[in-house]
A and B are shown apart, each in its own frame.
Chain A
């Protein structure tokens, strides 16, 4: 039986598109990229089972004619896992949006602080000595950091006093969790 070229092409296309989306800074695109990559991997698993045959049901077809059932079982497991994790990732992205009104991959403040430590500050060894004003705007801390922009929820509430905030029923962020 001649091998089909469709599956490898589909796999390659999905992987390429998935990696492209994954490298984007927008988290929603990252999620979409992850979904594409997950589907690409599932198709890869499917193609690892060899050529397609009859449905692998006992008594429906002979052992030589059915397609390999094991990859299908693996795919089912993988789909369930991917589904669950996508849902969780979506929730995290939504949470990120509600917290800082941005759904991009955030900058790492501590990294920037260590990197921005000038020789003058080297002895101080104290990241807080660095004035946020000295940093590039995009290097500054986002969200609730002192000196940064104020709480976006509060800002929105001030601008649209009549609109109900969607920031309800959040778990307490000020409770001691450590």
Chain B
């Protein structure tokens, strides 16, 4: 274990350095990234098995004496988190590799993608393992800095716009966190989490409340808890699909993990639980109402992401064993599901040329496999009975009911409503984008087409059409008899309109569109989804279904992790060794 613990940080960092050196050899670069994340996954599984069997282990890096050393602490929670994070990381990496293979070497200016992705994974691993408040901050910074680069990849206008919001908000939360660390150090004289757990009980109530509040706000921004969540739906949807997927899956959950540690290890006793419950309530309701209002698949998913953070915060705020276990299970479930859904959104964009739901139609007929890949995680997200989403929600609701009281009761009701509204949101996308015939989709109402079709009933279109799409209409539709386009969607006509529409999308969203003059051949090419992408997404969907089948053992594990968290002694004893914690406390 002492050898294994640094691996989730070291191997991705070394892999990042190596793949940066190999930037001229994309194939080797991919191999290096996959090998690094695969190693982390294997090690994480081993750590989870060991931590579950033998209890928590702390490793003092460099063998410094305990309170001063940089601690890496592996307990059930952090090991479980790293397992899930590296699983999702591997799936997303496979997706992006598939994309790179499918699109050829010229299309991806992403020689920095693999190194940055590995740095991100290293930061995530470090944040989960850190046994010291300041190292938690460093872990956050490592993953955030990598995420800034990933979010602004390519530097198109929408990404820069979303990226600036994201960067500034993240910086604020980091500065707040850093200020909180300074105050914690001033109040207690340490930043070691285990030592803090012993000392924070001795400081005055007011001071403790201030520190607690500052840490919660800082982590709340990262986790996108409601009043602090406005940045998320603005910035996530602009990024490339794999990037959004890994952000949605992992980054907010690192914040949730930090909140769990704050609430259990540092400030036990549930001082701010009422506040957290109110935040959870608002997060669920506001998030899901936002999701229903959205017309874009990715933005809808971003809002459901915010909404479902509310479930986890709810479980944490209950401060009971059942609540924490439910929250931990829900985190695991949600990391996988949300990442999968964002990958599916990437596939939808590839297949349909848009993520605006009104423009999509007939995807179920065009690609039945894609339809299945959407439907399974979408229903899982909404919490349809046999699936893991249902089990997680059920656990949380049971914990809420058994806790009793007005506010938990209200939250249980809100949880049910949110689940139903999630079902509304995802099934509306299903019935529009996948189920209805493509002819009902509103392909034609782009500004350029409107210009080309201007004039009521005059038939002034095709060869004489004006506006941005005029050239293509002239080239492809000029030989058609006048008026034929009124009859519907002839294939040629349809093709040019789609192409024109896609260029609009490309211009409007900054995502790259097809070449200016697409031939029938290239359109056919686009219609087939590459196997690599489908395979990677299908893999993650399989993982999400497997969570349902493994729910029994997994929930038991979450239960054990929750007991550890509430006891606090396993963590502290792991850091201080077997000796009684009070005697270790005398060491300055």
Contact = CB atoms under 8 A, between A and B. Distances in A.
B234 A146 contact: no
B253 interface: no
A84 B145 CA distance: 9
Given A48-B182, A48-B186, A124-B442, A114 B293 contact: yes
B108 A177 contact: yes
Given A77-B138, A126-B359, A99 B157 contact: yes
Interface residues of A, number: 59
Q: Secondary structure at chain A's binding surface: helix, strand, loop or mixed? A: helix
A71 B168 contact: no
B510 A144 contact: yes
A95 B160 contact: yes
A145 B164 contact: no
19 contacts: A34-B175, A41-B179, A48-B186, A74-B134, A81-B141, A100-B157, A105-B164, A106-B164, A108-B161, A125-B295, A125-B358, A126-B358, A126-B359, A126-B445, A128-B445, A145-B507, A175-B109, A176-B103, A177-B512
B262 interface: no
Contacts of B508: 141, 144-146
Interface stretch (B55-63, B148-156, B327-335): B148-156
Interface of B: 99, 103, 106-110, 134, 138, 141, 145, 148-149, 152-157, 160-161, 163-165, 167-168, 171-172, 174-175, 178-179, 181-183, 185-186, 191, 234, 237, 240-241, 293-296, 299, 346, 349-350, 356-359, 442, 445-448, 468, 504, 506-508, 510-513
Interface string A88-118: 1100110110011000011010110110000
A161 interface: no
Q: Across chains A and B, which 10 residue pairs bring their CB atoms closest together, nearest first?
A: A48-B186, A126-B358, A176-B107, A45-B182, A177-B154, A106-B161, A178-B240, A48-B182, A143-B157, A176-B512
Contacts, number: 170
B510 A173 contact: yes
Nearest to A50: B186
A78 B138 CA distance: 9
Nearest to A103: B164
Contact of B155 (A50, A124, A171): A171
Nearest to B349: A178
Contacts of A34: 168, 171, 175
Contacts of A171: 109, 154-155
Nearest to B170: A85
Interface of A: 22, 27, 30, 34, 37-38, 41, 44-45, 47-50, 70-71, 74, 77-78, 81, 84-85, 88-89, 92-93, 95-96, 99-100, 105-106, 108, 110-111, 113-114, 124-129, 132, 141-147, 170-178
A82 to B, nearest CB: 9
Contacts of B185: 45, 48-49, 70-71, 74
Contact of B164 (A84, A93, A143): A93
Given A49-B186, A71-B182, A178-B511, 20 more contacts: A27-B164, A37-B172, A41-B179, A44-B183, A71-B185, A81-B145, A92-B164, A95-B155, A95-B160, A99-B155, A105-B164, A106-B164, A124-B442, A128-B356, A144-B508, A173-B154, A173-B510, A175-B154, A177-B109, A177-B512
